[in-house]
């Protein structure tokens, strides 16, 4: 047999290094800071919100207000009332009313359980925090009872004591 010269293996083309991944754009988190002071939270739930496209874009700008909002159960559905989402500037005709009621998305069993708890005297549902989770808008709602003035004073006094103790430890 005659030896056949073997061809050198072809070099594989080197692939370009992938472009460096940019960090995701920061998504706004809106907190209802007043809720911690005004209410005593008994339970907290996460719910989705049914929104339109221009409302999502407006939320991403971060100029929304949930401080005066509250949730109610109407016809077996949970609705968020008085949450203000300003109109999207480039939205034109597709913008909706800024203060309209928005449907909250929860499982039927959770809504039924909340309906039973809300019927107790003095309990209400308040939005605590609005944030993005995997590209979807979520809202954290709390079953809460309004604080009395003396409750607020006691909490403020407790915070002052904690602050003083922290200062003493640092010295």
Asked if residue 8 has pLDDT above 80, the reply is no
Q: Which of 30, 38, 31 is nearest to 156 (CA)?
A: 38
What's the confidence (pLDDT) of residue 16? 74
In the chain, the DSSP E strands lie at: 30-31, 39-49, 70-74, 77-81, 102-105, 123-133, 136-146
Q: What CATH code is assigned to 30-146? A: 2.40.280.10
Q: How confident is the model at residue 103 (pLDDT cuts 50, 70, 90)?
A: very high
Determine if the pTM surpasses 0.75.
no
Q: What is the pLDDT of residues 43-54, one digit of tens each?
A: 999 999 998 888
What's the confidence (pLDDT) of residue 1? 64
- Domain ranges within the chain, ordered by starting residue: 30-146
Q: What is the pLDDT of residues 56-77, one digit of tens each?
A: 888 888 888 899 999 999 999 9
Report angle CA 47, 53, 57 to the nearest 5 degrees. 90
Q: Which two tokens stand for residue 111?
A: 């809504």
């Amino acid at each position: 047999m005659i030896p056949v010269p073997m061809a050198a293996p072809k070099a594989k083309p080197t692939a370009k290094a992938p472009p460096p991944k940019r960090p995701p754009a920061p998504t706004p988190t809106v907190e209802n800071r007043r809720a911690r002071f005004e209410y005593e939270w008994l339970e907290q739930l996460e719910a989705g919100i049914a929104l339109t496209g221009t409302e999502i874009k407006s939320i991403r700008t971060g100029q929304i207000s949930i401080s005066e909002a509250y949730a109610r159960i109407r016809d077996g559905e949970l609705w968020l009332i008085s949450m203000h989402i300003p109109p999207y500037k480039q939205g034109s005709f597709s913008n909706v009313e800024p203060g309209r009621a928005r449907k909250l998305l929860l499982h039927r069993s959770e809504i039924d359980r909340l309906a039973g708890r809300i019927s107790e005297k003095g309990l209400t549902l308040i939005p605590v925090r609005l944030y993005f989770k995997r590209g979807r808008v979520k809202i954290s709602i709390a079953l809460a009872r309004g604080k009395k003035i003396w409750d607020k004073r006691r909490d403020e006094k407790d915070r002052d004591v904690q602050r003083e103790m922290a200062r003493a430890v640092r010295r």
